[in-house]
A and B are shown apart, each in its own frame.
Chain A
Amino acid sequence: KAGVTQTPRYLIKTRGQQVTLSCSPISGHRSVSWYQQTPGQGLQFLFEYFSETQRNKGNFPGRFSGRQFSNSRSEMNVSTLELGDSALYLCASSLDPIAGTRETQYFGPGTRLLVL
């Protein structure tokens, strides 16, 4: 079974631009979570989608948004990019057959975003 895939793998943008990152979960997985990883802050939760609905959200500004499609694929968008948005953006998927249960999250390779 193929793992979580993320595109693109690398991206360079300038301040003020916007960016869209894509994530395809493991086949059959319905929950997709996004994380930001930086040397200073470590791994921080952005948001989680399940059945095309945002179910949980971390403490990030509204410039960070996402969505999930009916096939469970997800995208996240960052508008008005700032230098501090440079990071590795990771997507993770899980089965989540029953709401509220704990299921292992499997990560993709990430998209490395550099904002100049």
Chain B
Amino acid sequence: GESVGLHLPTLSVQEGDNSIINCAYSNSASDYFIWYKQESGKGPQFIIDIRSNMDKRQGQRVTVLLNKTVKHLSLQIAATQPGDSAVYFCAEANTDKLIFGTGTRLQVFP
């Protein structure tokens, strides 16, 4: 799907550079956080998650950082590739439902 549209913040990076996408969450009681990637015409795809008892978690080319003091979450993508172009959402869980951020559009140019 085209997901969140006209007013999405956009991050433009050059292929090969590192990307950092930031997210502020709303509830200090949230204890689980997920980053999703959504490409046009598709549903959100799980990238990486982190629980509130951690402040950093690494995956393949991705790292999530959690700062509970300021309720901030970030996603770092190393060596960004054209295939990373998509909308990225953070989500927080504080009950049994996920609350999604508005999303950030990542554009990768050669």
A residues apposed to B, CB below 8 Å:
4, 33, 35, 37, 39-40, 42-45, 48, 55-56, 58, 88, 90, 92, 100, 102, 104-110, 112
Cβ of A33 and Cβ of B102 under 8 Å apart?
no
Q: Give the size category of B's interface with A.
A: 20 to 34
Q: Which residues of B contact A92 (CB under 8 A)?
A: 43-44, 98
Q: Note all chain B residues with C-beta closer than 8 A to A45.
A: 97-99
Contacts A/B (CB < 8 Å), 12 sampled: A4-B43, A33-B97, A39-B3, A39-B6, A42-B103, A43-B89, A43-B100, A106-B46, A107-B43, A109-B41, A109-B42, A110-B1
- Which residue of A has the minimal Cβ distance to B41? A109
Say whether B95 faces chain A, with CB atoms less than 8 Å apart.
Answer: yes
Compute how far the CA of A107 lies from the CA of B1 in the bound complex, rounded to whole angstroms.
Answer: 12
B51 interfacial by beta-carbon distance below 8 Å? yes
Say what secondary structure dominates the interface of chain A: strand
Is B84 interfacial (CB 8 A cutoff)?
no
Question: B4 contacts A42, CB within 8 Å?
Answer: yes
* B interface list, Cβ under 8 A from A: 1-6, 31-32, 34, 36, 41-46, 49, 51, 89, 93, 95-103
B contact residues around A58 at 8 Å (CB): 97
Most buried by B among A4, A35, A39: A39
The interface residues of chain B lying within 8 Å CB-to-CB of A4 are 43
Q: Which residue of A lies closest to B34 (CB)?
A: A104
Which residue of B is nearest A103, CB measured? Answer: B32
Is the CB–CB distance between A102 and B51 below 8 Å? yes
Q: Are A102 and B31 in contact (CB-based, < 8 A)?
A: yes
Query: A102-B51, A107-B44, A110-B43 known; A48 and B4 CB under 8 Å?
Result: no
| B2 A102 Cβ-Cβ under 8 A | no
Nearest-neighbour CB distance to chain B for A68, whole angstroms, equals 14
B100–A102 contact, CB under 8 A?
A: no
The 7 closest A-B pairs by CB, nearest first: A39-B5, A102-B32, A107-B43, A88-B1, A43-B100, A107-B44, A42-B4
